[in-house]
Amino acid sequence: MRDVIVIGAGGGGAVAAKELAGRGLDVLVLEAGPRWGNPRQEWTHLENDANNPLTGFFRFGPGDRSKPWWFRETPQNSFLWQLSGVGGTTQHYYGNCPRAYPGVFSGYDGADAAMYDTAALFPFSYQDLVPYYQWVEATLPVQTAAMGTKEEVFFSGAETLGIPVQTTKTTMHDSYRPQENAILQPGGTAGFTSDPSQLMYPTATGCTFCGYCFQGCMEPINAPRNLFAKRSTDNSYMPMAMTADAWAASGKAVTLVPNAFATRIHTSVISGSTTATGVSWRDTNTGEVFREDATVVVMAGGCTENPRLWLNSGLPNPNDWVGRGYTDHYFDWVIGLFDHNTGSSKGVGSSARADFPGHGGLENVGLPPGLEAFTMGFSDSGIQGYYDNGLDLRGDWDGPAGRLYGDALKDALQNGLDQLLNVLVITDDDVESQNRVTLSAFPADENGPVAKVEFHQRNRSARTKANREFMANKAAQLLRGAGAAKVYRMNWPPLILHVQSTMRMGSSEADSVLDGTGEARWVKQLFIADNSALANGLGGPNPTLTSQALATRTSENIFRTYFGGDAYVGIETPVVSIDDRVTMAVLSRGL
Amino acid sequence: MPESGLFRPCLFSRRAFLARAGVLGAVVGAGGVIAALPVWATNTAKPSPLSGKALIEDLVGLLRPALDALAHDTLSGLAAFALPGNDQYSVAQGTLSTTAGGVQARGAGFLTQALDDFVPFPSELATPLAAAFSTALADLHLPLNNPTLLLPIQLVNNVDSALSFLLQNDQTIPLSLAVAILLNLLATQVDPSSTLTPGPDLSPFSRLTFAQKAQAFALLEGTESNLVAALDMQLPEPLRDSVSGLLKYVGGSLLEFAAFGSLGEWGVFDAATKQLTGLPVGWQLSGYQPNGVVDGWPEFKGYYQGRQQVTDI
């Protein structure tokens, strides 16, 4: 019997795995997707090969790419974009690590307190979470991003908005800044050349500005796995989890089983309480089913699959909040066309942002041509100039919001992929019970009944909608300030990629699944340690860092409550994921 | 209603469905298919074909290539819609361009492969969906001089049976075909004359102008789409209400997927070597990576205001 079984080796599961392994616990990690152990052979820097959600090496599907992806029902114009595989959705993330805004936590008494999602605050204070933020920021590590051309252009626009530069970790008012990124700084020849012979480790260290963050980071060439520039958990927390005996005095390396789709969480009634006792999973290659028992089970399969697994396991749901309250930051996209080079497709995917606490945030994003076209071809308001579904959305952008399609798409791209600038709108969106995960009426797949994700896009709360309009206008103003000749707004339907709060913790039993320790209210010894545990949408900031800080805190709670351990965060000094002991163990074990 | 072959309501709606889905056009346009049909398929004196499963399978075998061609043609019309180029589909929609577009990028092949090989479209859905498509059209009219209406009744019956058989068999139904049928049904709602005898383009959707194609998608996305609502009502519980959502998802997905596929590298990617066989259309068009994939760029410009670290508060 194991001490802990962690379901999912993504942004949160890998953190729980590493923390508990570092404490010497016997941890089994199940991951539905593959472990890509040899990226130089298995990956390319090509966007369709990497990111096609049906066929790419980054998709929600089995590691055997000849097999279909795993279908989830989405009964509206929308796109659900999460990944299986070790690293989870961090495999394609941009490493952005802003902290949440203080206003989304209990006990906040700033003058703007009423501007946040006050019905769904975290059940503890921002200050309570700070030591865990610091722990994760040190471990990844998180650093102030360097600039390329597109950042220079973004900042030139931000400078016209009349807001200051943020020079602190905590966001306190409207401001702009370089991202705090989990990306190693460029060293040596990195960032100065395209000559591959000059981009080998250790001649080059850290980010080489290749522009392929979304296609997975494997730079510099021949670097050890834990020294790839982007600190996705396949490059940071999982290598640590798999080598814990090498860098922690009483650490015990986890057992990782990839290609293992968890199909059921088992429980028993112990001392009158429903208690988690183990997990069954299915080998996605052979179909064989396995089961192991554990003292504690940690769910980290993500915002869509956690509710599915919970419901398929028949676990209790007395207040019907399992799967509800899905926040997705109500994304939108505003694009400026310029008559000079912006370097849009080069460098770190996103290194510049602006924050408007109480409303949301903006960030620059660089894309290759297929993804850029996807972005321009995605809208809830039809095709610009042809139809608008009755949504005539006007503002500081040109014309009504809608898709750029046909000749308009071609013209925009012929202007030059490196003569445009993208601004992603990340809205502070309310937790709403109508946006949720349930089980689909469509046929089950080989792992059981599938998830159905519904978003009532046009029915969002007034605060959410107003926030998005505010942010879209700011994005357009920034682009005009930077000198854009044309500015287009897309009005995206739900692009469910920043995901939060479907198994939320909360202050009240009436509308939460977890208590403030991360333990399930109705199932003892069952914890959740990923984005689904977040109480709300954080006010807009990219969720990974907060999920990882929360997962660290939850892991410490597990250690103290069920394994007789002591608190250690804020007391000990964390080992960094690029520590020599980790590197040597990664190399000697062929990871 | 008079009981002649052309006007029996049930048959009329099936014929209308087949015509509007482009299937009859595909069969007629495929020429050789008609010539190769067994005698019984066009002999009006023969009994119902439903009694001969093997004969149906024969007809299915002849029908499949016509249906594949129909799907490819319709999806080519979609690729040209996303990214016009110097191709016949762009001519047909009125947006001839001097440079390559989605058709040259092999956008139709991209969409076909994505839809057919990698989307497990459950057969439990295909059967009621196919039935729903056809019965939903019972009250719609086609011009009486539509040439496809003049095809022999028995031929239409047999094509219909063959198509139903195709949709009901155990294998995964090609989703590219279902999508092509959907797009063509919408096209004929926008412009009923698009079902006329085929020229170089087989499918109703590919005959539309750019503005008409946009209208077709407006119909699909519109909450009052009578096609979408009619489909839902035809389906049994628990699928009722699920299909309209699925169609809205599919409609939206087609547009962004067609754009993604037309601008990305699929058309020139050799999966065996993981190398490109040429510069993708989208890269040439947008000036992206003219010398191919890199491992880095000389893009490092320093740190904003010289700051490499912020204050930890």
In tens, the pLDDT along A177-232 reads 999 999 999 999 999 999 999 999 999 999 999 999 999 999 999 999 999 999 99
Rounded to the nearest 5°, which phi and psi values hold at A201?
Answer: -70, 140
Bridge partners of A420, per DSSP, are: A337
User: Per this entry, what is the length of chain B?
Assistant: 313
Give the 3-state DSSP-derived string for B162-224, with helices as H, strands as E and coil as C. Answer: HHHHHHHCCCCCCHHHHHHHHHHHHHHHHCHHHHCCCCCCCCHHHHCCHHHHHHHHHHHHCCC
Is residue A441 very low, low, confident or very high in pLDDT (cuts 50, 70, 90)? Answer: confident
User: What is the DSSP-derived secondary structure letter of residue A520?
Assistant: B
Report d(CA A569, CA A554) in Å as an integer: 11
pLDDT value at residue B131: 55
Interface mutation target, options A172, A417, A436, A496, chain B, most CBs of B under 10 Å: A417
Tell me how far CA of residue A249 lies from CA of A412, A556, A565, in angstroms.
57, 17, 15
pLDDT tops 80 at residue B265:
yes
Higher pLDDT, B227 or A109: A109
How close B38 gets to chain A, by Cα (Å)? 37
* Residues A493, A494, A497, A500, CA torsion sign: positive
Tell me how far CA of residue A433 lies from CA of A116, A300, A437, A454, A484, in angstroms.
17, 21, 10, 11, 39
Determine contact, residues B257/B151, Cβ cutoff 8 Å. Answer: no
pLDDT value at residue B199: 55
Token pair listed for A242: 């798999």
Superfamily covering domain A2-326+498-588: FAD/NAD(P)-binding domain (3.50.50.60)
Conformational region of residue A319, where left means phi above 0, alpha means psi within -120 to 50, and beta covers everything else: alpha
ipTM, two decimals: 0.95
pLDDT tops 60 at residue B140:
no
pLDDT tops 50 at residue A48:
yes
Q: A454: part of which helix (H) or strand (E)?
A: strand A451-454
Is residue A75 very low, low, confident or very high in pLDDT (cuts 50, 70, 90)? Answer: confident
* Mean pLDDT, rounded, for A93-110: 98
Token pair listed for A361: 């945030």
- CB atoms < 10 A from the CB of B45, how many? 6
User: Structural domain boundaries of chain A?
Assistant: 2-326+498-588, 332-432+451-495
Task: State how beta strands A255-257 and A204-205 pair.
Answer: unpaired
A56 contact residues in B (CB cutoff 8 A): none
pLDDT value at residue A350: 98
The answer to whether the Cβ–Cβ distance between B309 and A143 falls below 8 Å is yes
pLDDT value at residue A480: 98
Report d(CA B112, CA A54) in Å as an integer: 12
Determine contact, residues A332/A490, Cβ cutoff 8 Å. Answer: yes
* Nearest CB to A210 within list B263, B288, B297: B297
CB interface of B with A, residues 149-188, below 8 Å: none
Token pair listed for B312: 């930890």
pLDDT tops 60 at residue A327:
yes
Does the CB of A172 have a partner CB in chain B at under 8 Å? no
Is residue B248 very low, low, confident or very high in pLDDT (cuts 50, 70, 90)? Answer: confident
pLDDT value at residue B1: 34
* Nearest CB to B95 within list A52, A407, A443: A407
Q: Which of A98-107, A194-203, B11-20 has the lowest mean pLDDT?
A: B11-20
Q: What angle do CA B283, B289, B295 make, to 5 degrees?
A: 140
Token pair listed for B177: 């075909």
Domain that holds residue B111: 9-263
* Mean pLDDT, rounded, for B233-254: 70
Number of H helices, E strands in chain B: 15, 2
> B79: Cβ–Cβ under 8 A, 6 or more apart, which residues?
B89, B101, B102, B103, B105, B107, B108, B110, B111, B258, B261, B262
> What is the distance of C-alpha A591 from the center of its chain?
24
pLDDT value at residue B81: 98
pLDDT value at residue A316: 98
The answer to whether the Cβ–Cβ distance between A196 and B222 falls below 8 Å is no
The answer to whether the Cβ–Cβ distance between B286 and A209 falls below 8 Å is no
The answer to whether the Cβ–Cβ distance between A192 and B300 falls below 8 Å is yes
* Mean pLDDT, rounded, for A157-171: 98
How close B158 gets to chain A, by Cα (Å)? 30
Residue B284 lies in a domain: no
* Mean pLDDT, rounded, for A106-129: 98
> A458: Cβ–Cβ under 8 A, 6 or more apart, which residues?
A380
* Mean pLDDT, rounded, for A230-235: 98
Whether the bond between B143 and the residue before it is cis, its omega within 30 degrees of 0, is no
- Mean pLDDT in chain B? 74
The answer to whether the Cβ–Cβ distance between A180 and B310 falls below 8 Å is yes
pLDDT tops 80 at residue B172:
no
Token pair listed for A249: 């005095």
pLDDT tops 60 at residue A126:
yes
Bridge partners of B213, per DSSP, are: none
pLDDT value at residue B69: 86
- Could you give the maximum distance between any two Cα atoms of chain A, in Å? 71
Residue B47 lies in a domain: yes
Report d(CA A269, CA A251) in Å as an integer: 32
The answer to whether the Cβ–Cβ distance between A185 and B256 falls below 8 Å is no
Token pair listed for A472: 């879209």
pLDDT value at residue B44: 44
pLDDT value at residue B70: 86
Token pair listed for A55: 């066929």
Does the CB of B255 have a partner CB in chain A at under 8 Å? yes
Higher pLDDT, B120 or B58: B58
- Mean pLDDT in chain A? 97
The answer to whether the Cβ–Cβ distance between A409 and B255 falls below 8 Å is no
Residue B228 lies in a domain: yes
Residue B70 lies in a domain: yes
B117 contact residues in A (CB cutoff 8 A): 68
Conformational region of residue B65, where left means phi above 0, alpha means psi within -120 to 50, and beta covers everything else: alpha
Residue B300 lies in a domain: no
pLDDT tops 70 at residue B129:
no
* Nearest CB to A443 within list B124, B266, B282: B124
pLDDT value at residue B34: 47
* Nearest residue of B to residue A347, measured between CA atoms: B299
Report d(CA A9, CA A300) in Å as an integer: 7
Interface mutation target, options B93, B129, B253, B300, chain A, most CBs of A under 10 Å: B300
Let me know if A64 is exposed, middle or buried by CB neighbors in 10 A (0-12, 13-18, 19+): exposed
Task: Decide: helix, strand or coil at residue B301.
Answer: coil
Residue B31 lies in a domain: yes
Does the CB of B89 have a partner CB in chain A at under 8 Å? no
Report d(CA A537, CA A523) in Å as an integer: 25
Residue B217 lies in a domain: yes
* Residues A191, A196, A202, A203, CA torsion sign: negative
* Mean pLDDT, rounded, for A555-573: 98
Domain count for chain B, please give it: 1
Does the CB of A69 have a partner CB in chain B at under 8 Å? yes
Residue B307 lies in a domain: no
Interface mutation target, options A180, A386, A453, chain B, most CBs of B under 10 Å: A386
* Chain segment B177-221, per-residue pLDDT in tens: 878 888 988 898 898 877 665 555 668 999 999 999 999 999 888
Is residue B50 very low, low, confident or very high in pLDDT (cuts 50, 70, 90)? Answer: very low
CB interface of A with B, residues 106-135, below 8 Å: 134
pLDDT value at residue A312: 98
Q: What percent of chain B has pLDDT over 90?
A: 37
Token pair listed for B66: 């016509």
- CB atoms < 10 A from the CB of B313, how many? 9
pLDDT value at residue B86: 96
Q: Which of A78-82, A508-512, B118-122 has the lowest mean pLDDT?
A: B118-122
Q: Which of A274-283, A349-358, A481-490, B216-225 has the lowest mean pLDDT?
A: B216-225
The answer to whether the Cβ–Cβ distance between B311 and A167 falls below 8 Å is yes
Determine contact, residues A502/A437, Cβ cutoff 8 Å. Answer: yes
pTM (2 decimals)?
Answer: 0.92
Does the CB of B2 have a partner CB in chain A at under 8 Å? no
pLDDT value at residue B175: 76
The answer to whether the Cβ–Cβ distance between A47 and B309 falls below 8 Å is no
* Residues A102, A106, A111, A115, CA torsion sign: positive
* Nearest residue of A to residue B78, measured between CA atoms: A406
* Mean pLDDT, rounded, for B160-175: 59
* Mean pLDDT, rounded, for A439-450: 90
CB interface of A with B, residues 436-455, below 8 Å: 440-443, 445, 454
pLDDT value at residue B154: 62
Higher pLDDT, A339 or B224: A339
pLDDT tops 50 at residue A386:
yes
